[in-house]
Chain A
Amino acid sequence: EVQLVESGGGSVQPGGSLRLSCVVSGFDFGRENMNWVRQAPGKGLEWLSYIDKSSSNIFYANSVKGRFTISRDNSRNSVYLQMDNLRDEDTAVYFCAIGEGSSWFYSWGQGTLVTVSS
């Protein structure tokens, strides 16, 4: 059974940085793309970033381009989201999702909460 576990969330001041991790088990991680998605409190889903299986293709939403960096380590079955210059509006639950075949969003983690506040 596939399992995705996010970690690294917490409280940070505006302008600060955090690095989120997502570890995948029960799946052939190195063969699939990964995405990060967030959800602000009481709001809808927002796609943030995509990385393909070999890190050759990486895409970002306009809202985080230049501030967030996605990466992966296939030897550790992990994908990361480095978040810099955080703003109040980045407060959200952050989810990772793994693809499978032509589906970019096959399975999701339970999310990790990031709170940006002074």
Chain B
Amino acid sequence: QAVVTQEPSLTVSPGGTVTLTCGSSTGPVTSGHFPYWFQQKPGQAPRTLIYDTNNKHPWTPARFSGSLLGGKGVLTLSAARPEDEAEYYCLLSYNNIVLFGGGTKLTVL
């Protein structure tokens, strides 16, 4: 079974830019994996930020964007705010199953 990889932790300064990546053990991540990005804060349910690589939901702040780069899915956070401190999960689709990455703990400091 495939494994989806993410950085365990990252730190960004307030106002700064950070990129989170999502890799696949099977090879390059493509649009055919329909990458998703979720944000989860302690004690809360996940919230979907990005679907199908770069599509946003109405509640997704404009400072978040999704893309593909270097064979990985990428979530870019620009002009980070303290409230962006959270765990971020990516998800990839493999035919009839989907797999989450292990999550990236993002600290805004």
Residues of A near any B CB (own CB < 8 A): 37, 44-47, 50, 59-62, 95, 97, 102-111
Contact = CB atoms under 8 A, between A and B. Distances in A.
B1 A62 contact: yes
B47 A108 contact: yes
Given A105-B36, A106-B57, A45 B100 contact: yes
A108 B36 CA distance: 14
Which 10 pairs, one residue from A and one from B, show the smallest C-beta to C-beta distance?
Answer: A103-B51, A108-B45, A45-B100, A59-B96, A44-B103, A105-B48, A47-B98, A44-B102, A110-B45, A45-B89
A103 B97 contact: no
A105 B103 contact: no
Nearest to B47: A108
A103 B100 contact: no
Contacts of A106: 48, 57
Given A47-B100, A104-B36, 6 more contacts: A37-B46, A44-B102, A59-B96, A102-B55, A106-B57, A108-B45
B64 interface: no
Interface in B30-55: 36, 38, 40, 45-48, 51-52, 55
Interface string B11-41: 0000000000000000000000000101010
Q: How many residues of B sit at the interface, in one of the four size bands? A: 20 to 34
B102 to A, nearest CB: 5
Interface string B67-109: 0000000000000000000010101000011111111000000
B42 to A, nearest CB: 11
A44 B57 contact: no
Given A59-B96, A103-B57, A45 B45 contact: no
Contacts of B1: 62
A82 B101 CA distance: 25
Nearest to A95: B45
A44 B55 CA distance: 23
B47 A47 contact: no
